[in-house]
Structure 1
Amino acid sequence: MENDYAIRQAADWIRDADGLLITAGAGMGVDSGLPDFRGTDGFWRAYPALRHHGLSFEDIANPAGFASNPRLSWGFYGHRLALYRATAPHAGFDILFRLASTMKHGAFVFTSNVDGQFQKAGFPAARVAECHGTIHLLQCIEACTDQVWPEDDFNPIVDNSTCLLKNEMPRCPHCGGLARPNILMFGDWKWVSRYADRQEQALAAWLESVERLVVVELGAGRALPTVRCFSERQRRQVIRINARDYSISPAVGVGIAGGALEVLQRLDNTLSGLT
């Protein structure tokens, strides 16, 4: 019953909105079949070879690894890159795209995900802000330049039994040193944030133009609360969709328990008058 009320309230807000801010964490990709790294056991189920090394997600998602064991670091990121390239966004992305198409100012995405799934689903790159960077761009491991570049020509070959990259690692075209993904990692002092900074400037300008904003937050957990905090800073009409951590202050929004795809389909049916 609690979910039913929240769904109806969310539908009313969406009908009245002239701009849709989509904020998304890792839970958004689960319905597309992407792994859930929640907890060390969840991470090791996705990458059993790293259990042998005794490495947690925080250990491998760390720039220090590119100096100490670059083939292992690139094996991990290379596998993720290939997985994201092969993954089709689930139908919930289409629902969000369609809802935004009815609004005067359309949609803007703010996400901590580095997978590029929103762009793959048809959202314009100019309307996506990736606060932790993206796996689809490279930078110099030493940050010899503030330039980033596409990794379109890099096709990783990974030995799944060892999580080691088998082919040539990408190099920086400026200094010839090792390149790495343009992702904000743990303990990362050399992340080149120029591209992400431009995205967030565009988002700030878009928010200024919207008069009746609605926020749909999907799969953003408490462990890294960047997305949740950004949603709540809007302080109005936040629809928090989360299988576990869906609570939110009634002064800010409504919480709906469930996965991204399931709840978006229910919202879509309510808006269409089917329920």
Structure 2
Amino acid sequence: MRKENDEARKICWLRNAIETADAVLIGAGAGLSASAGIAYSGERFEKLFPDFIKAYHFPDMYSAGFYPYDTPEEHWGYWSRYIYHNRYEEHDRGPYETLLKLVGHRDYFVITTNVDHQFQLSGFDKKRLFYTQGDYGLWQCSKPCCDKTWDNEAAVKRMVAEQRNRRVPSWLVPRCPVCGAPIMMNLRCDNTFVQDKGWYAAHSRYEDFIRRHKNMKLLFLELGVGGNTPVIIKYPFWRMAAANPKASYACINLGEAVCPQDIAKQSVCIDGDIGKVLMEVKNCSGMDIEAV
């Protein structure tokens, strides 16, 4: 009973924090998309890539993405399918849509390491989003010869439709329209990552949001951020919360909901499925926390 009361108190604490904050800064990682069913291993991977699994015994989508395929035709046979299913295919975006209902009427901004574009597809304002690590929907030159990126939706969908035996036709293998070099994904994996004009504009808006709310009642809402790249979201959120006594910090993460001791009094950590927790927060009546 005590555990149930403690969880209910945390849920209502977060609902009140959202409603009373001057602004909400959301930091989202892979756990949020995982809660929406976008899994990169297990049953979903086996259903989408049975031919690649049979040929190479891959354990998950990530491993298959880094494999050095013998030909560009097979490389894009895999990657076109990967991009399509994780970027363009319709998904149950329940956790994202619930989050938007919670913060859509507030002054909010989102910084995310996710590259699957689910925030924008769920209705979030494009000018309130900063995708730090790239986008499955963008290509760049592999050299790179310039700081440009290109939308890939039409090309990817055609690759998926035309591929046979794990390969796309040679005439569909993409090349840089500027220099003719091979095209690659616009994903941050090494120092060739292109930060285009859109990236810099989003970064500027993110910095401006932080600057405008520096000493205000700001809620740092961290969702599904793991330990792979903590310097992008987790550590900065902890540091900014510690520097602002008016701020509050909330972390929702399945199995990884923690915060430093120095911000514990202004924080709440909820260990659970993000989509389910957000729905509970949405349905919270805003009752007096002390009465729970």
**TM-score where L is the length of structure 2:** 0.78
What does 1:1-275 correspond to in 2, within 5 Å? 1=3, 2-37=6-41, 45=46, 47=49, 49-50=52-53, 52-53=55-56, 60-62=64-66, 65=68, 69-83=71-85, 84-103=87-106, 106-154=107-155, 155=157, 156-157=159-160, 163-166=166-169, 168-185=172-189, 188-194=190-196, 195-210=198-213, 211-225=216-230, 226-235=232-241, 236-252=247-263, 253-271=267-285
Asked if the contact 1:75–1:158 (Cα under 8 Å) also holds between the matched residues in 2, the reply is no
- Aligned residue type for 1:244: G
* Contact 2:254 2:272 survives alignment (8 Å): yes
Inter-partner Cα distance in structure 2 for 1:140 and 1:271: 51
User: Contact conserved, 1:182 with 1:192, CA < 8 A, in 2?
Assistant: yes
The alignment partner of 2:262 has SS state of coil
CA distance in 2, matches of 1:196, 1:11: 31
Q: CA RMSD in A?
A: 3.0
Mapped contact 1:74–1:169 kept (Cα < 8 A): yes
Q: How far apart are the structure 1 equivalents of 2:168 and 2:235?
A: 36
Q: 1:182 to 1:221 in 2, by over 3 A?
A: same
Task: Pick closer, same or farther for the CA change 1:130–1:73 going to 2, 3 Å.
Answer: farther
Change (3 A) 1:230 1:74: farther
Pairwise CA distance, 1:181: 1.8
So what's the TM-score if we normalise by structure 1? 0.82
List runs of 5+ in structure 2 lacking aligned partners.
242-246
- Deviation track 1:37-56 (CA, whole Å, cap 9, x = no partner) reads 5xxx7997575525743667
| 1:54–1:227 Cα change, 3 Å | farther
Cα drift, residue 115 of structure 1:
0.5
Larger radius of gyration: 2
Give the superposition deviation at 1:130: 0.9
Distance 2:92 2:188 in 1: 23
User: What residue number does 2:244 align with?
Assistant: none
Q: Give, in angstroms, the shift of residue 128 of structure 1.
A: 0.9
Seen in structure 2, the aligned counterparts of structure 1 residues 162 and 111 have a Cα distance that, compared at 3 Å, is farther
Structure 1, unaligned runs of 5 or more: none
The total of aligned residue pairs comes to 265
Give the superposition deviation at 1:151.
1.5
2:40/2:62 contact within 8 Å kept = no
Shift of 1:268: 0.8
Q: Tell me how far apart the structure 2 counterparts of residues 146 and 200 of structure 1 sit (CA, whole Å).
A: 15
Identity of aligned residues (%): 23
Partners of 1:240 and 1:163 lie apart in 2 by 41
